[in-house]
Structure 1
């Protein structure tokens, strides 16, 4: 499932390439034909992300709400402009030391592209083998066909088209047209998102909500009503970085530890948005940093490392199911 950093990057893509433009909205698949007809011909006025939810505003106070879920993704084609704040830092920002200080990888200015396309500007969301991704050996979607717009490929729920750019949505869990009150109602049900609200008050809302619960902290971090945006990868990595047993109940985790979790989530989310990758490793050499940015197997402490020795203590990483999702953790470091 795409995690919070991906959804924030999608919102940035729309702000950079669609806001201020009148769009043709269609549903090639047909399942969103009624909603598409309501939005067709309107101008995009805003785009924002809250956790795993994205909201695209159109004139007259209408919004398109999208939750990608497990399988959803946006594919972009045409004249794609990257967010200058991402372009300026991509390839440099991407690791923190144990105190949370951002460390530059080296002096390389160009982005280090992930082999699986995780930080592609042309396809953001759940991975699919059939989707073309950006890499040194492949071309952007729009370059595969001289015609613009390209023909829809696969089950496209929604297509948004300007004179120069197209965005295709496939496989979302939720896709609906709502008004401003509906947007606020969704946001009110969600836990805090540190990119939407980095205030101390937002952090304290997370602390108080988590500390009241008798559920395992490994479940609470995935509860979008407790905190927004954390998915399976970030859950495992945040708990390892905090040296927290995932089975420990929220009410038994010290409040100061919960505050440190919030601060670490704030840092990792910002790194994920800027680099496009869930980089969670610390204190890497420039060479190891480049390897980690190019290959997800080299940039996580415990995620998908079951049976392999812990990078810190050498104990084999465990895999179990928690909350119907795979949980990776070190039984020695996280005691």
Structure 2
């Protein structure tokens, strides 16, 4: 599932492609016909991202809410776009570019009230200046759940996925199974600040970068084309810092990775 930096990057890209312009909207797949008809011919006023949720704002107080989920993606092409291939939920076309949305978990028309309800359910987003880090701190430090689970709970922090979860905890030297109540304020402040910095790098560069230059000793990525990481997807591989084998366990039905020496329990 794309992490929050990807959604913020898409919001910026779509604003650049279509912002202030009237768009043509269709649903070749047929599952968003009514919604596409409602925004067809309208001007895109802006875009927004909250965690893993993307919003397009059109004139007439119409919004499109997209959650990519596990399989969703946007494909971009130069206009005029070729005939759609496969299951295209939503096609948006401008004069020079277009995008096809495939396989999202959600693609729906929202009202401003719907947006308010969505935001009320989400935690602080490290990529938003209007987020409340104090609320995130209170939720984490007031819970006995594992901090690794809290970081992935979108009601606590919006936008963090499995890669950032594993990597930021390693960089902080925090074991993922420590209860939130054991996290002292300085530890949490470091984790939050690191999330803000790392996810901003992800937006700018279009990829996750978590390994410090001094720690990158040539160990390859866990898979070609994927980010080089400290612990994520490196089970059994030597820690980049101490050489201890990285371990893995299940936490709330997701895989979590850590170094038992650099992140003592």
The answer to whether TM tops 0.5 is: yes
1:153 and 2:82 correspond: no
Q: Is the counterpart of residue 221 in structure 1 residue 157 in structure 2?
A: no
**SS of structure 2 residue aligned to 1:176:** strand
Which of 302, 306, 316 aligns to 2:235? It is 306
Cα offsets for 1:128-151 (capped at 9, x unmatched)? xxxxxxxxxxxxxxxxxxxx2112
Q: Is the 8 A contact 1:204 1:259 kept in 2?
A: no
- For residue 185 of structure 1, report the CA deviation from its aligned partner: 1.4
Tell me the distance in 2 between the aligned counterparts of 1:37 and 1:15: 20
Shift of 1:284: 4.2
* CA–CA separation in structure 2 for the residues paired with 1:156 and 1:284: 44
Q: How far has the Cα of 1:153 moved from its partner?
A: 2.1
- 1:252 alignment partner in structure 2: 182
Do residues 323 (structure 1) and 252 (structure 2) align?
yes
Q: How far apart in 1 are the matches of 2:238 and 2:195? A: 25
Q: Secondary structure at the match of 1:193?
A: coil
Instruction: Name the CA distance, whole Å, in 1 between partners of 2:125 and 2:86.
Output: 33
Say which SS state the counterpart of residue 326 (structure 1) adopts.
Answer: strand
Secondary structure at 1:177's aligned position in 2?
strand
Segments of 5+ residues of structure 2 without an aligned counterpart are none
State the distance in 1 between where 2:224 and 2:215 align: 15
- Assess if the C-alpha contact under 8 Å between 2:209 and 2:227 holds in 1: no
Structure-1 separation of matches of 2:225 and 2:166: 14
Q: Could you tell me how far 1:195 is from its partner in structure 2?
A: 2.2
Aligned to 1:169: 101
- Indicate how the Cα distance of structure 1 residues 262 and 180 shifts in structure 2: closer, same or farther if over 3 A, else same: same
Taking structure 1 as the reference length, the TM-score comes to 0.75
Question: Which residue pairs with 1:273 in the alignment?
Answer: 203
User: Aligned partners of 1:285 and 1:324: how far apart in 2?
Assistant: 30
Deviation of 1:329 after TM superposition, in Å, equals: 1.1
Q: Which secondary structure state, in structure 1, belongs to the residue aligned with residue 60 of structure 2? A: helix
CA contact (8 A) 2:123 2:156 kept: yes
Q: 1:187 and 2:119 equivalent?
A: yes
The answer (yes or no) to whether the contact 1:2–1:69 under 8 Å persists in 2 is yes
Would the alpha carbon gap of residues 175 and 297 (structure 1) be closer, same or farther in structure 2, given more than 3 Å must change?
closer
Kindly indicate whether the alpha-carbon contact (under 8 Å) linking 1:29 and 1:157 is maintained by their aligned counterparts in 2.
yes
The aligned residue for residue 11 of structure 2 is 11
CA distance in 2, matches of 1:317, 1:285: 15
Structure 2 residue aligned with 1:283: 213
- Structure-2 residue corresponding to 1:55: 55
In structure 1, what is the Cα distance between the partners aligned to 2:100 and 2:78? 12
Cα deviation for residue 283 of structure 1 reads 2.6
Q: RCO greater where, 1 or 2, for CA within 8 Å and sep 6 or more?
A: 1
Unaligned runs of at least 5 residues, structure 1: 80-147
Deviation at 1:253, TM superposition (A): 0.9
Q: Which moved more, 1:54-63 or 1:177-186?
A: 177-186
Q: Once the 2 structures are TM-superposed, how far is the Cα of residue 299 of structure 1 from its aligned partner?
A: 2.1
